[in-house]
Amino acid sequence: MDTQQTQIPSTDPFLLEVLRNAFDTIAEEITLTIIRTAYSQIVRDSLDFSTALCDAQGRTFAQGVCTPMHLGSFLDALRNMLAEVGNDIDPEDYFIMNDPYAAAGQHLPDIYVVKPIYFGGALKGWSTTLAHHSDVGGIVAGSNALGATEVWQEGFRIPVLKLIDKGVRNETLWKLIGLNVRTPELVHGDLQAQMAACATGARGMVNLYDRYGVETIDQAIVDLNDYARRLAAAEISDIPNGTYKFTDHIDGIGDTPEPIILNVAVTVNDADIVIDWEGSSPMVAGGVNSTFPFTKACAYAALRSVMSADIPNCHGFTETVDVRAPEGTVVRPVSPGPTGARGITGYRMIDCLFGALAQAVPDRVAADGSGGSTLPTISGMQDGKPFIFCETAMGTWGASRDNDGQEGVPHIGANQSNVPIEMIETAYPIRIERYGFVDDSGGPGKKRGGLAIQRDYRVLSENALLNVRSDKRAYPPHGLFDGSDGAPSMNYIDSGNERRELPVLLSEPVPMRRDDVFRHTMSSGGGYGAAFERDCNAVLQDVILGKVSIEGARRDYGVSIADQAGHLVVDHAGTAALRG
């Protein structure tokens, strides 16, 4: 290797691109290791986890493909950890933490496992993972207690501790975790999967240091962050200066919900951008409060999604964004505020930011979508053992200037996946009675919002408990630029001949008996532009595909569809009369 080249203060652009891809590949290898070795469906199949490579100060320089709402919060967690442990770090250590207040975590089910990366006897960085575990104790199975009033009710709180100390298992901690969770085999198995993934990342970085040398890799990380910062600043400069405001809502918790307000002001001043949540609701006595690291991560995810440049997924991008939120609010709670179901607030913050950004860059923002994942949890006993089924059911997007809303896709904040029916029915006493789209549900517009998705779960055990985190019933997904709102979400339990409507956010679990069916319809996507401006042939295709009914075509789009010798066609005269 040319020793003179390693002394150049800025990395050669071609080499920087090579190393950027090498870093990303290692981060993806961490991801694949978790997928291949995880025990629980929520991690292995729903993909509710994240991975990253960070430098010695905790700054991210590469990410896996999973959950954007996780990734922007790694810096706070690692800096808090470094302040706690000081120099008590060994190459064979594995650190663990989850507490939102003692460890700058997100909520208790999300457990960090991180491993130091050493080369030449020096700490060079961190191989990091964050996974949503099937259960961490608390008053509700699955540990997403919407009705919790304080963090102590939500589960097992872990400050910054060593899971492995100088290569030796901390057996006391492993036993404590196992005793305080309902599914110890799954939790222990997923922790070991995270450890294996961390080892994969550390090994990959050591190989890279060995191949290119310390100076080259260290300088490349610095240059990559600087490159991301400059690209992001240039993208922000393309947004017109001004302050853009938007207000969104979470329906509220329980049978008599009180709306929770999210209020944002996005101020752009040349290359600087400030996101201020002043005016949002005070923190609530329920598990939807969003920790500030999570609030910042959601802001980064929303902004990154409206930028067109191929910005590296590293810390430098976040340095261009100033996120502010008053303490004691739903977007920045203080101890002992509960945070177990904070994901719904994260999704809504991103949606709220899109509402503001649509005023500045309307061609880059879609109408409102289904609002992130519904989180149904069905728990009980089967064959003498507890079972906890939990998934992140994803839905649909709103329409954009150029496209109809997509269906069966994750929210931009969480690159997660719906669990296949066969895997649910194989692992749990549950049968999926229906899984499909709901016709006439997409918000009408020149571009149509994506259709709602319905998923029905029949319980096959003698008894079970249902917990649900959903939203967007009282405040359905909004359309943009004269586009109509999407359809609201709905929750029902069918028990025999009786049907019971459930709130969107349950304050406490609902009992279910054998053959009871939980029927959930997610909200759909909002429309973009006036519905009567929609191309008639696009409406016809929607009718042929079963996305829109013939009556829906007349009512919502002013398009008359006729049957000619068994073929559906546009009745142009009838359409002209309707649209006239």
Residue 390 clears pLDDT 80, i.e. is over it: yes
CA gap 57, 553 in Å, rounded: 57
Residues 6+ apart with CB under 8 A from 405: 366, 367, 369, 396, 397, 398, 399, 442, 443, 447, 448, 449, 450, 524, 525, 526
Residue range 25-42: mean pLDDT, rounded: 96
Confidence band, pLDDT 50/70/90 cuts, at residue 6:
very low
Residue 14 clears pLDDT 80, i.e. is over it: yes
Residue range 510-537: mean pLDDT, rounded: 97
Residue range 507-533: mean pLDDT, rounded: 97
Kindly report, residue by residue over 63-103, the tens digit of the pLDDT: 988 888 888 889 999 999 999 999 999 999 999 999 999 99
The answer to whether 131 and 176 have CB atoms below 8 angstroms apart is no
Percent of the chain with pLDDT over 90: 91
Residue range 193-199: mean pLDDT, rounded: 98
Confidence band, pLDDT 50/70/90 cuts, at residue 130:
very high
Residue range 308-333: mean pLDDT, rounded: 94
Closest CA to 383 of 332, 442, 435, 427: 427
pLDDT for the residue 215: 95
Average pLDDT, the chain: 95
Residue range 305-323: mean pLDDT, rounded: 91
pLDDT for the residue 39: 96
Question: Which residue blocks in 52-183 are alpha helix, DSSP H?
Answer: 68-71, 74-85, 171-180
CA gap 209, 122 in Å, rounded: 12
pLDDT for the residue 126: 98
Confidence band, pLDDT 50/70/90 cuts, at residue 414:
confident
Can you give the pTM of this predicted structure? 0.94
State both tokens at 387: 């079972």
pLDDT for the residue 54: 97
pLDDT for the residue 2: 39
pLDDT for the residue 7: 42
Closest CA to 272 of 309, 303, 246, 311: 303
Percent of the chain with pLDDT over 70: 98
Confidence band, pLDDT 50/70/90 cuts, at residue 4:
very low
Residue range 502-521: mean pLDDT, rounded: 96
pLDDT for the residue 309: 82
Residue 512 clears pLDDT 90, i.e. is over it: yes
Residue range 107-136: mean pLDDT, rounded: 97
Residue 562 clears pLDDT 90, i.e. is over it: yes
Residues 6+ apart with CB under 8 A from 110: 70, 98, 130, 131, 132, 133
Q: Quote the distance between the C-alpha of residue 369 and its chain's center.
A: 14
Kindly report, residue by residue over 452-496, the tens digit of the pLDDT: 999 999 999 999 999 999 999 999 999 999 999 999 999 999 999
